[in-house]
Amino acid sequence: MEFLAAYGLFLAKTLTLLLAVVFLMVFIASNASRHKQGGRDKGHLEVSKLNEELEHLKEDLRHAVLDEETMKQQAKAEKKSKKLEKKKASKNAESAEDKQRIYVLDFDGDLRAHQVEELRNCITAVLTLARPGVDEVMLRLESPGGLVHAYGLAASQLVRFRKKEIKLTIAVDKVAASGGYMMACIANHLMAAPFAMIGSIGVIVELPNLHRLLKENNVDYEQISAGEYKRTLSNFGEITEKGRQKVQEDVDEMHRLFKSFITQYRPALDIDHVATGEVWTGNIALEKGLVDEISTSDEWLQDKCEKAEIYLVSWEHKKQFRDKLSSLFENSLGKLLDKVLLGWFKRADKERYY
């Protein structure tokens, strides 16, 4: 037991020293990086061709499943088919430039829609090359919603495609609720997986109030403001009926604007019937007119690969030295702690049962 206690103390000192050294290195690297780049987090566009990725998957499976003779026969058949397609294309005077291009974007939303900056950069890039009436954009959207102003900006970015007459298809494989549906409704064509969660067309304001707790403990809370409605609800001040009524009016007005926005892009939707804050699965959402088709993004893209050139477009932030160092430290420390704790648990388990 004394040995274990001494070993534990030694390990604690070592980890403390290691943490101090790493923190100092990260701090120095962070300051140097900010001074060099003016505090900006630069990034770059990443583009990959999904047709090629699908072809690689097909080839991998083919080599694993088929025998050599069958593979040769299929290769000959595909080669012949490609020649026929090439001849047909030349007869119709179709060139590579005439072929449709589909640009695939991803948006994984959180409470504050932090990914809107990456989305903005990708949209700007695509709009420089996309051809109205020819090319198409597919957005794979996942979001449970969040802050109104954040999702308002995200939705406004998607409107840019509509203004430039670039067809926008949005696929929801898991969830597009509240602010997520605000974005989804902008699509020219909206699809959802059968069990995707769709809807939650509503607005909510909530916060804990500690006024009575402070009052019971004789704690005063002072708040000085100018303007009758500068502060209506707060965490510590007394909530008045007048303040509560004002917030309700604001929430109702925001809900009205939300419904108006959806109606603008889905005019056939019975908005009063669906703007209840409820959430529905994809199949029910289709019945109510919230979506246009039941399908997954994978199914849609695989079908399109046969006719169009498909490109996945994403924005990657440049990883700074401090980020790399921090990631390395977290991984190393995590593995070390896992190993130590697992060893202790195993030892304790043996001592208990054997």
CA 348 to each of CA 13, 343, 352: distance values in angstroms, whole numbers, following the listed order: 23, 9, 6
In whole angstroms, give the CA distance from residue 24 to residue 164.
50
The structure tokens listed for 4 are: 């274990």
* Nearest to 127, CA basis, from 115, 135, 116, 139: 135
The structure tokens listed for 236 are: 């510590």
Asked if 295 and 171 count as a contact pair (C-beta separation under 8 A), the reply is yes
Write the DSSP symbol of residue 339. H
Q: Pick the catalytic residue: 143, 178, 200, 297? A: 178
Q: Pick the catalytic residue: 36, 42, 163, 230? A: 230
The structure tokens listed for 280 are: 């529905």
CA 158 to each of CA 147, 162, 170: distance values in angstroms, whole numbers, following the listed order: 17, 7, 10
The structure tokens listed for 53 are: 């990725």
Catalytic-residue membership of 230 = yes
In whole angstroms, give the CA distance from residue 110 to residue 94.
43
Q: Work out whether the CA dihedral 293, 298, 302, 307 comes out positive or negative.
A: positive
Q: Residues of 6-42 as b/e, b for ≥16 C-beta within 10 angstroms?
A: eeeeeeeeeeeeeeeebeeebeebbeebeeeeeeeee
Q: Which helix (H) or strand (E) holds 249?
A: helix 241-265
Count of Cβ atoms closer than 10 Å to residue 138 Cβ: 25
Write the DSSP symbol of residue 307. T
At residue 46, what are phi and psi to the nearest 5 degrees? -115, 130
Catalytic positions are: 178, 230
